[in-house]
């Protein structure tokens, strides 16, 4: 949202760029109103158009079928970033390029650490909220409850023997 802050407050483009989450959404998930808003902003500003194209191309990057296809898209996005002169995105691209050997594993195995990171976040939040737990069994039950594993769909139904 660096471009948003660079526009003078009160200008029409400043008003149009307020809702930053609209710009983070995939185009296919935007409402008609949001699509019209994006069209208005990109028609008035070439920088927003370039950022929108880069963002949409990155969605293709994560859906690439092979490592080679992903590398091609990544290099293409990098070229667009450098041509546009986006310094923050250049730094981001350079960091990812330096760690390409790690990033390419996603395209080989299609596994991320998102689930374990989410569970770790839940555990840390539970500990902060309760200031610790003395009973480890109760703590495990709370983790399962917050993560949704104590819902009725996971519990076996009790059959009545009448």
Q: Are residues 157 and 87 in the same domain?
A: no
pLDDT of 75: 95
Q: Choose from 4-13, 96-105, 125-134 the range with maximum mean pLDDT.
A: 96-105
Q: Are residues 99 and 123 in the same domain?
A: no
State mean pLDDT over 79-98.
92
Q: What's the pTM?
A: 0.58
pLDDT of 154: 55
Tokens of 92: 């981001």
Q: Choose from 6-15, 66-75, 145-154 the range with maximum mean pLDDT.
A: 66-75
SS3 per-residue string spanning 13-69: HHHHCCCHHHHHCCHHHCCHHHHHHHHHHHHHCHHHHHHHHHHHHHHHHHCCCCHHH
Q: Are residues 71 and 144 in the same domain?
A: no
Q: Are residues 160 and 132 in the same domain?
A: yes
Q: How far is CA 47 from the centre of its chain?
A: 21
Q: Are residues 88 and 121 in the same domain?
A: no
Domain boundary among 70, 92, 109: 109
Which structural domain, as residue segments, surrounds residue 67? 2-109
Q: Are residues 31 and 105 in the same domain?
A: yes
Q: Are residues 56 and 45 in the same domain?
A: yes
* Residue among 138, 154, 144 nearest 122 (CA): 144
Count of alpha carbons within 13 Å of 154, Cβ hemisphere only?
A: 7
Q: How many domains does the chain have?
A: 2
Res 17 pLDDT > 70: no
Residue 9: pLDDT band (50, 70, 90) is low
Cα–Cα distance for residue pair 128/38, rounded to 1 Å? 40
Please write the tens of the pLDDT for every residue from 114-145: 888 988 998 898 888 888 788 888 888 888 88
pLDDT of 1: 47
């Amino acid at each position: 949202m660096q471009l948003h802050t660079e526009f003078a407050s009160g200008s029409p483009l400043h008003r149009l760029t307020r809702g930053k989450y609209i710009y983070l959404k995939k185009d296919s998930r935007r409402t008609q109103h949001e699509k019209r808003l994006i069209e208005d902003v990109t028609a008035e500003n070439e920088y927003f158009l370039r950022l929108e194209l880069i963002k949409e191309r990155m969605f293709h990057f994560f859906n690439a079928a092979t490592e080679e296809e992903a590398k091609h898209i990544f290099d293409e996005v990098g070229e667009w970033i450098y041509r546009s002169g986006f310094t923050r995105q250049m730094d981001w691209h350079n960091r990812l390029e330096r760690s390409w050997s790690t990033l390419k594993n996603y395209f080989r195995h299609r596994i991320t650490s998102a689930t374990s990171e989410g569970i770790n976040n839940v555990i840390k939040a539970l500990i902060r909220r309760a200031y610790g737990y003395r009973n480890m069994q109760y703590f495990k039950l709370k983790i399962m409850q917050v993560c949704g594993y104590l819902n009725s769909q996971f519990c076996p139904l009790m059959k009545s023997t009448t």
